[in-house]
């Protein structure tokens, strides 16, 4: 019994991540057109009709711009916080609102916890998915982090997190100062150094896989992101690290193993519970 994490693509032109368990298939974000989503899922021998529901982190187009397409074309349920749902004009009959730290169950073997993260102009959340006592975190579009986020992500078996820019490339690049300031601010994006510092706080012996996501095409390079992050976590992480870029899917990670119920790790207490299947 495993949970599979597959990034269909990450970056400024669209983001979506597929989580699969034996009894559930969900997308974290849907920032692609319907045609692009079909194309990317087809590489996995899947169709949009195979998706049980979509979780949206925030309303920016590269993360939620394709959510309504899922509803209108394939009648797919979408889950988002209230502000995100309003900004994206989601269809009420196919939309479920969640609040921060609500624990949402999908089917019998998947739980998803939305955790607030700082990102200017949006009500953004990270997601921590739990299956069979093991956890995977999907974190993107944040310029800093909170103690609360550290608490919920520490010790996850898998962590996907943005490493958006190299500081030297951003500061020396062609962007106007106002945009550079917004990207590097508390409500912007994480630099490679910041991502490494965050991972140094949350990685434990349990952390086996990391994926760096949402790399800027103009202000970053895969080798810079990987080497900078590894510099910070070399003493705490010995697992597998990969980089997800815009044109995916390129790989999957698999976590989970049969575990007696009495040995399952406790899930965070939820304010409310939504049963979707």
| Domains in the chain with CATH codes | 3-249 (3.60.15.10)
Distance CA 243, CA 260 (A): 33
**Average pLDDT by consecutive 10-residue portion of the chain (277 residues)?**
94 95 97 97 97 97 96 98 97 97 95 92 91 96 94 97 96 92 88 97 97 95 97 95 93 72 34 39
Backbone phi, then psi, for 108, in 5-degree steps? -100, -5
Rounded to two decimals, what is the model's pTM? 0.90
- Helices in the chain by DSSP H: which ranges? 34-42, 61-64, 67-74, 82-87, 147-153, 167-171, 177-184, 192-202, 222-233
pLDDT at 96 (0 to 100) = 98
pLDDT of residue 120: 75
Distance CA 240, CA 207 (A): 9
Q: What is the pLDDT of residue 269?
A: 31
Residue 136 contacts residue 19 (beta carbons within 8 Å):
yes
pLDDT of the residue at 126: 97
- Cβ neighbours around 201 below 10 Å, total: 15
Contacts of 110 (CB under 8 A, 6+ apart): 3, 19, 21, 23, 24, 26, 129, 130, 131
- The pLDDT assigned to 257 comes to 55
Separation of alpha carbons 103 and 97, rounded Å: 12
Contact 138, 114 (CB under 8 A): no
Residues in the chain: 277
Q: In angstroms, rounded to a whole number, what is the distance separating the alpha carbons of residues 33 and 69?
A: 8
Contact predicate 48/55, CB 8 Å? no
Q: Can you give the pLDDT at residue 272?
A: 33
> What is the model's pLDDT at position 119?
79
pLDDT at 33: 97
| Cα(272)–Cα(120) distance, integer angstroms | 27
Q: Residue 87's closest CA among 63, 70, 51? A: 63
State how far the Cα of 24 lies from the Cα of 107, in Å rounded to an integer.
Answer: 6
The whole-angstrom separation of Cα 258 and Cα 37 is: 32
């Amino acid at each position: 019994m495993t949970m599979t994490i597959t990034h269909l693509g990450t970056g400024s032109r669209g983001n979506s991540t597929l989580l699969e368990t034996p009894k559930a298939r969900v997308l974290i974000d849907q920032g692609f057109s319907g045609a692009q989503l079909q194309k990317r899922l087809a590489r996995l021998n899947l169709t949009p009709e195979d998706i049980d529901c979509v979780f949206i982190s925030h309303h920016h187009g590269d993360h939620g711009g394709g959510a309504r397409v899922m509803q209108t074309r394939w009648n797919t349920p979408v889950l988002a916080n209230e502000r995100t749902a309003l900004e994206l004009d989601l269809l009420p009959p196919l939309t479920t609102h969640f609040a921060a730290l609500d624990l949402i169950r999908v089917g019998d073997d998947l739980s998803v916890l939305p955790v607030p993260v700082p990102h200017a102009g949006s009500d953004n959340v990270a997601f921590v998915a739990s299956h069979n006592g093991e956890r995977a975190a999907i974190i993107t579009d944040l310029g800093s982090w909170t103690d609360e986020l550290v608490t919920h992500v520490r010790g996850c078996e898998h962590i996907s997190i943005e490493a958006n820019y190299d500081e030297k490339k951003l500061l020396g690049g062609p962007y106007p100062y106002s945009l550079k300031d917004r990207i590097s601010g508390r409500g912007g994006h994480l630099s490679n150094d910041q991502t490494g510092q965050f991972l140094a706080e949350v990685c434990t012996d349990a952390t086996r896989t990391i994926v760096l996501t949402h790399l800027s095409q103009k202000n970053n390079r895969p080798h810079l992101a990987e080497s900078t992050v590894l510099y910070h976590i070399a003493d705490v992480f010995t697992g597998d690290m990969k980089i997800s870029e815009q044109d995916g899917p390129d790989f999957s990670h698999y976590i989970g193993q049969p575990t007696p119920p009495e040995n399952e790790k406790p899930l965070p207490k939820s304010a409310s519970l939504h049963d979707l299947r």
